[in-house]
C-alpha cells in the first residue's frame, strides 16, 4: 500500500501498475553497466532496477518518498541520492558512461532532456515515461506540426523510439493525459558540422515563429544584413531535418562573419 502523498508542486503522479514498471525496466539494453533512475517516488520501478546486476543509483527530491524508500527497500541505502536531478553534477555520480531511466515529472521533462543533452557523450541510452504528447513530439519526423525544437535537438544526437502508451489509470492520482515510454539511443554524431551554439539559436529562432517563413525568422539573428538566397528560406521550420538545420546554421555563420568584417 502506498504511504506517500503525491505532491502537485513536484508534479507527482505515482505509477502503481507493476506490469508497466516491469516493462519499463526491461526496456533498457541488456549490456547496460551503470544506470541512474530519476525520481524513485514510491519505488515501483526502483524495485525491478535493484534486481539488476549493474551499478545502480536513484535520485529523489521528496523527503517523504525518501523516508518511504529507506523503510521499504533496505538495500537502497547506498544507492539513493537525495537531491534535485537538475542541480546534480552527473560526473560526480558515475565516472563512466551511464544510462538514464525514470518516470519523469511532466512539468520539468524538457529541462531533464536538455540536461541529458549536455551530457550526451556520457549517456548512451535513456528510457523514460513522459506525457504522450511530448513523447510523440520528440519521436516525430520532419513535416509534422508537432515536430519542434525538442525533436531537432534530441534527434541530432539520439535515435528515438516510441515504445508504448500508458493509460491514465496506471497512476495515483491519474493525470489528465495519457503517458508514453520512449527510448533514446546515442547515434554516431559526436559533433555537428556547424557551430553548435549557433545551431541552437537558429533552431529556436525559427520554431519560436513557426508560422513565419524561415527567411523572416532569421532576421532576428541577421539583423539588417541581407540573407542570400537559399532553398530553405521560403519554407517553415517543421519541414527541415537535422542536417538541413546544420546547413542553415552554416549559412547564418557566414552572414554573421560578414557582419564582423
Nearest to 132 by CA among 194, 182, 80, 67: 182
φ, ψ (nearest 5 deg) of residue 173: -75, 160
pTM of the predicted structure, to 2 decimals: 0.92
pLDDT in tens, 143-163: 999 999 999 999 999 999 999
Distance, CA of 85 to CA of 199 (rounded, Å): 26
Nearest to 2 by CA among 33, 35, 44: 44
Specify the pLDDT at position 27. 98
Distance linking the first and last C-alpha atoms of the chain: 68
> What pLDDT is attached to residue 1?
42
User: How many angstroms separate the CA atoms of 256 and 260, rounded?
Assistant: 6
Question: What's the pLDDT score for residue 2?
Answer: 56
| Structural domains in the chain plus CATH codes | 8-186 (3.40.50.150), 196-260 (1.10.8.100)
Instruction: State residue 245 phi and psi, 5-degree precision.
Output: -65, -30
What is the mean pLDDT of each successive set of 10 residues along the chain, which is 261 residues long?
68 88 97 96 95 96 93 94 94 95 93 96 97 96 94 98 97 92 97 96 94 89 83 93 96 81 45
The pLDDT of residue 82 is: 95
The pLDDT of residue 3 is 74
Q: Is the dihedral angle over the CA atoms 91, 97, 103, 105 positive or is it negative?
A: positive
> What CA–CA distance (Å, rounded) separates 143 from 148?
10
pLDDT of residue 4: 77
pLDDT at 220: 85
Q: Which three cell numbers, joined as nine digits, stand for 163?
A: 515504445
Whole-angstrom CA distances from 230 to 167, 216, 217, 221, 249 are 45, 13, 14, 16, 12
Which phi-psi region, left, alpha or beta, contains residue 43 (left: φ > 0; alpha: ψ -120 to 50)? left
Concatenated DSSP letters for 11-78? T--EE--HHHHHHHHTTS-TT--EEEEE--TTSHHHHHHHTSSSEEEEEE--HHHHHHHHHH-GGGTT
Residue 78: count of CB within 10 angstroms of its CB = 7
CA distances from 242 to 144, 148, 194 (A): 14, 11, 11
CA nearest to 6, candidates 38, 36, 39: 39
The whole-angstrom separation of Cα 40 and Cα 66 is 8
Contacts with 210 (C-beta within 8 Å, 6 or more apart), sequence order: 148, 236, 237, 238
Amino acid at each position: 500500500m502506498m504511504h506517500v502523498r503525491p505532491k502537485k508542486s513536484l508534479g507527482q503522479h505515482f505509477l502503481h501498475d507493476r506490469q508497466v514498471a516491469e516493462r519499463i525496466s526491461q526496456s533498457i539494453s541488456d549490456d547496460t553497466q551503470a544506470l541512474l533512475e530519476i525520481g524513485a517516488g514510491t519505488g515501483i520501478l526502483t524495485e525491478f532496477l535493484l534486481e539488476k546486476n549493474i551499478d545502480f543509483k536513484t535520485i529523489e527530491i521528496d523527503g517523504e518518498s525518501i523516508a518511504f524508500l529507506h523503510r521499504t527497500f533496505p538495500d537502497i541505502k547506498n544507492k539513493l541520492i537525495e537531491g534535485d536531478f537538475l542541480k546534480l553534477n552527473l560526473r560526480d555520480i558515475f565516472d563512466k558512461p551511464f544510462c538514464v531511466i525514470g518516470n519523469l515529472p511532466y512539468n520539468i521533462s524538457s529541462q531533464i532532456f536538455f540536461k541529458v543533452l549536455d551530457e550526451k557523450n556520457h549517456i548512451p541510452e535513456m528510457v523514460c515515461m513522459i506525457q504522450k504528447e511530448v513523447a510523440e513530439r520528440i519521436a516525430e519526423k520532419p513535416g509534422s506540426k508537432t515536430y519542434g525544437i525538442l525533436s531537432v535537438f534530441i534527434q541530432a544526437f539520439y535515435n528515438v523510439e516510441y515504445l508504448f502508451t500508458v493509460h491514465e489509470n496506471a497512476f495515483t492520482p491519474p493525470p489528465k493525459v495519457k503517458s508514453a515510454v520512449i527510448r533514446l539511443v546515442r547515434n554516431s554524431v559526436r559533433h555537428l558540422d556547424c557551430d553548435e551554439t549557433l545551431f541552437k539559436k537558429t533552431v529556436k529562432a525559427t520554431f519560436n515563429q513557426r508560422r513565419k517563413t524561415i527567411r523572416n525568422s532569421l532576421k532576428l539573428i541577421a539583423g539588417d544584413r541581407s540573407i542570400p538566397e537559399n532553398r530553405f528560406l521560403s519554407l517553415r521550420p517543421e519541414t527541415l531535418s537535422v542536417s538541413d538545420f546544420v546547413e542553415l546554421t552554416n549559412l547564418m555563420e557566414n552572414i554573421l562573419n560578414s557582419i564582423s568584417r
